[in-house]
Structure 1
């Protein structure tokens, strides 16, 4: 009885953890901060590339950690790495220390990426309530966006005074999240008991290979993962490079943070209602509509003076995309492979970011960021066309 009650508590504990975890005051200012330390756009892109190379290499191993040793342990360890990264970034004096900080931060994201979602879904599954996952995940996203509002506004305000404050406070919030993570109840569904008697190295090998086989043999999982992560790459690239673009156009850190906060506020209202949007449009229509609309918005960023409006529109599309694809994927994945496969999904994101993000920075250095956005518009257009072709071919 206590075990089931604790599983149910995971839902509210997860709301609090997401709020604390997303209180990253650096997210809207780190590129501006590092640019102020003398880094070019190409070097900023390289740092993000280092982040994603590390993430690419560590995603599946950290997902295996969550499936084998527990999602709770993985989340807690992730907060430890986050604290170390923020402290290191405060005291870094050269590019190599910045790079080390970004690599450590990537591992903190890896440890959380599959574990949190898997812990929540399997808690609901063990309670027999997984049908409510999309709705609950919508509320998770709402909490995340509310946290973003505080983080972006406060981070932009503090950075305008002193760049070190956002990094220091982010480390403090990560410490509070670390403490709160110890109260989660580990679902029994999530642990791969068949691997208990094996040597640790064989455990990781078997867990990883089995998860890859599932992804490879289930075409729908592969297509959903690629779809979701390519979409995320477009949105993430714009989020970071628009910071310097707007700064160059005369906006200060607080105003940039305000734009991001408005985006989060709108998403906070959208997220709890995504399950209604999904019921109205269904899977096929959404998977066709989201990339096409994203492409149109990217071109509008490049060719109009209302880049902030179309950025907010893209963020809304990203929210819808994340919630619906998360639900579709979790329905297809076995519990004992859930965190590993969801981490594989993040690895695909890192793979595309490794190549695209530094390339955008290089184009921005050689030409202008506006030119880089036009390149992103071309890339998103090609993806949207290919996506329609794949979906229509699959349906025939």
Structure 2
């Protein structure tokens, strides 16, 4: 009777945890509705910020993120992914309110710090909550497909936001930030509904924070492949994100209205959605090595097209399609290599690498674009992408081939 009761109890826990997956789809959609994405750089320019100041503000965002990524990842590992998520949404609410009320560089800087902290709280906790939920119910092999659906929810929200945000901007920039405050309140309510998985909690409260950091470093030291995957995907994300944000101002300079800027960015996001939902198919059909090799070559071709040809929009859309596949695939590749008790911390480390790259790169692009024109900035992106992505691809190549040969045997 005792064993039957225990079995039913565990089965009930599994059912509750499984609801995390659907709840995460809802949360991802709600929290990703950001009508300010299509207009935030235009809003800052409207409030008197120069391209260089905008670049510096973005660097402040990433400096804050760099400093707080590991501590917030430890919060998620030690005190819960759900706790981290709720705190992140509260910080996002504060950051949005500050953006709406700011009129000076330093007030915007404070707003960016709060937004950065909200990003930190989510960056490691979100994927960790989903992956550990799947580990706990014995379905981790479904992660890439589920991650594709998560990306579908994310990109659908982002695409809708770009169109709606661009349309709202034709009337009033401030209205977009007012709507974002309401959305953040809804996201907080959604975040409170999750059930915390327990697979990562074994003895974590007994380990000191310093001990946790040492353990996380040890994981990377024992498996250098993690670092290679992180550097490759975050290098790609650096170039894609830089282009995405500055593309708003580039298109505005070419005479596009805010509505058409939103439609253009939304079109790129729609195709990214399509490719992200098929990432598991690409993995099954072509394998890890071919996905990474093809994406590296295609990325360099697209960046060269943006830099040297008058077809910037077409090649930007091509980059977005590649992003759809790589974002989902690499999330799975990296999670497979990380133990649950260090998952949020190491995923935060991944986000920290991105922040470090953005701190160094984003304001430099802003200075080049404002001094010599956007085309000069695009040329810089191409010539920096060749060594960075090429080097990490070469490091991954032999390891991936050896891994796939072992699977075949």
TM-score (norm 1): 0.96
CA 1:391–1:5: 2 relative to 1, 3 Å: closer
Is 1:319 matched with 2:324? Answer: yes
Could you tell me whether the CA contact under 8 Å between 1:119 and 1:190 is conserved in 2? no
Could you tell which deviates more after superposition, 383-392 or 24-33? 383-392
Could you tell me whether the CA contact under 8 Å between 1:71 and 1:116 is conserved in 2? yes
Which residue of 2 is the match for residue 144 of structure 1? 154
Could you tell me whether the CA contact under 8 Å between 1:278 and 1:286 is conserved in 2? yes
Could you tell me whether the CA contact under 8 Å between 1:82 and 1:174 is conserved in 2? yes
For residues 129 and 2 of structure 1, what CA distance do their matches in structure 2 show? 16
Could you tell me whether the CA contact under 8 Å between 2:225 and 2:396 is conserved in 1? no
Could you tell me whether the CA contact under 8 Å between 1:292 and 1:381 is conserved in 2? no
TM-score (norm 2): 0.93
Which residue of 1 is the match for residue 6 of structure 2? none
Is 1:7 matched with 2:17? Answer: yes
Q: CA deviation at 1:45?
A: 0.6
Is 1:19 matched with 2:29? Answer: yes
For residues 114 and 350 of structure 2, what CA distance do their matches in structure 1 show? 20
Could you tell which deviates more after superposition, 124-133 or 35-44? 35-44
Which residue of 2 is the match for residue 303 of structure 1? 308
Could you tell which deviates more after superposition, 380-389 or 182-191? 380-389
Secondary structure of residue in 1 paired with 2:241:
helix
For residues 388 and 30 of structure 1, what CA distance do their matches in structure 2 show? 34
Is 1:106 matched with 2:116? Answer: yes
Which residue of 1 is the match for residue 190 of structure 2? 180
Could you tell which deviates more after superposition, 29-38 or 331-340? 29-38
Could you tell me whether the CA contact under 8 Å between 2:272 and 2:322 is conserved in 1? no
Which residue of 2 is the match for residue 160 of structure 1? 170
Could you tell me whether the CA contact under 8 Å between 1:149 and 1:264 is conserved in 2? yes
RMSD: 1.3
Which of 232, 235, 245 is matched with 2:237 structurally? 232
Could you tell me whether the CA contact under 8 Å between 1:61 and 1:208 is conserved in 2? no
CA 1:363–1:133: 2 relative to 1, 3 Å: same
Could you tell me whether the CA contact under 8 Å between 1:291 and 1:383 is conserved in 2? no
Q: CA deviation at 1:306?
A: 2.0
Secondary structure of residue in 2 paired with 1:188:
coil
Which residue of 1 is the match for residue 290 of structure 2? 285
Which of 355, 378, 391 is matched with 2:396 structurally? 391
Q: CA deviation at 1:59?
A: 0.6
Which residue of 1 is the match for residue 260 of structure 2? 255
For residues 397 and 234 of structure 2, what CA distance do their matches in structure 1 show? 20
Which residue of 1 is the match for residue 78 of structure 2? 68
Which residue of 2 is the match for residue 374 of structure 1? 379
Unaligned runs of 5+ in 2: 1-10, 403-409
Which residue of 2 is the match for residue 342 of structure 1? 347
Secondary structure of residue in 1 paired with 2:196:
coil
Is 1:194 matched with 2:203? Answer: yes
Mapping for residues 113-124 of structure 1, pairs under 5 Å: 113-124=123-134
Residues 37-92 of structure 1, C-alpha deviation per residue, up to 9 Å, x if partnerless? 22111111100000000000101110100000000000011000000000001001
For residues 214 and 56 of structure 2, what CA distance do their matches in structure 1 show? 30
For residues 385 and 273 of structure 1, what CA distance do their matches in structure 2 show? 25
For residues 254 and 204 of structure 1, what CA distance do their matches in structure 2 show? 48
Mapping for residues 8-87 of structure 1, pairs under 5 Å: 8-87=18-97
Could you tell me whether the CA contact under 8 Å between 1:292 and 1:384 is conserved in 2? no
Secondary structure of residue in 1 paired with 2:203:
helix
Could you tell me whether the CA contact under 8 Å between 2:229 and 2:396 is conserved in 1? no
Unaligned runs of 5+ in 1: none
Secondary structure of residue in 1 paired with 2:278:
helix
Which residue of 1 is the match for residue 334 of structure 2? 329
Which residue of 2 is the match for residue 206 of structure 1? 211
Could you tell me whether the CA contact under 8 Å between 1:155 and 1:257 is conserved in 2? yes
Which residue of 2 is the match for residue 352 of structure 1? 357
Q: CA deviation at 1:190?
A: 2.3
Could you tell which deviates more after superposition, 301-310 or 237-246? 301-310
Aligned length: 391
